[in-house]
Amino acid sequence: MFIRKKKINNNEYAYLVENRYHKKKKQSRQKTSKYLGKVINLGNSNKQTQASTINEAIINELNRFGFKESKNKLIKNGIEIDLGTFQVIEGSKKICLELNEGFLCNLTLTNLLNFNSQNLNQKEIIHNFADAFVSAGINLHYESFINIFNTQNTIKP
């Protein structure tokens, strides 16, 4: 599954999409499975974020884009990211922030903050954990990733 942007009436919207292969026709089709919200492009940050926790990584990354922290929320120009409820909203509508070649939305925020490593081998855990950061648009420094990964107790021998 991946996130796809679709332009409608000069506005971009994000959808969760999966590819399905049709054996008889020998071709694949995209199947939209979930609407994620209107896309707001924040741009790219050339610096890598350093942090010791996932929350700190998110906060540090969004501070670069002008978000201010207030009571477990990050706020800028009516956009609110609630790290407690995993909500990314503008007013009362869910949105999807495009940053650093990723998308920060309710889905990616939940995937990152509630990372689940059940039934995965060590290589899959590392890959999926890194993918959760990239998908959410968090440009995390390598050493910070290793430290956060090790403190999450995600590797089970």
Predicted pLDDT of residue 152 = 78
Q: Give the CA radius of gyration of the chain.
A: 17
- Structural domains in the chain (count): 1
In this structure, which long-range contacts are made by residues 10-18, counting pairs with CB atoms below 8 Å and at least 24 apart in sequence? 11/38, 11/39, 12/38, 12/39, 12/41, 13/37, 13/38, 13/39, 13/96, 14/38, 14/39, 14/96, 14/98, 14/103, 14/105, 16/107
Residue 156 lies in a domain: no
With 50 as the cut, is the pLDDT of residue 156 above it? no
Name every residue whose Cβ is closer than 8 Å to that of residue 119 and which is 6 or more positions away in sequence.
none
Q: Collapsing DSSP states into helix, strand and coil, what is residue 123?
A: helix
- Token couple for 39: 């896309």
User: Token digits for 92?
Assistant: 């009362």
Burial call 101-136: b when 16+ CB within 10 Å, e when fewer: ebbbbbbbbbbbeebebeeeeeeebbebbeebbebb
Q: Mean pLDDT for the chain? A: 90
- pLDDT tens figures, 71-83: 889 999 999 999 9
pLDDT per position as a tens digit, 6-59: 999 999 999 999 888 888 888 888 888 899 999 999 989 888 989 999 999 999
Has residue 39 been placed in a domain? yes
Q: pLDDT digits over 60-71, tens only?
A: 999 999 999 988
96 is in which domain, residue-wise? 2-151
State the pLDDT confidence band at 94, using cuts at 50, 70 and 90: very high
Residue 119 lies in a domain: yes
Mean pLDDT, rounded, for 136-150: 92
Tokens standing for residue 80: 């609110």
For residue 23, give the DSSP letter.
Answer: T
pLDDT of residue 120: 83
In a domain, 157, yes or no: no
pLDDT at 85 over 70: yes
For a pLDDT cut of 70, what percent of the chain falls above it? Answer: 97
53 secondary structure, DSSP code? S
Q: Is residue 84 part of a domain?
A: yes
> In this predicted structure, what is the pLDDT of residue 153?
63
- Whether the predicted pLDDT of 154 surpasses 60: no
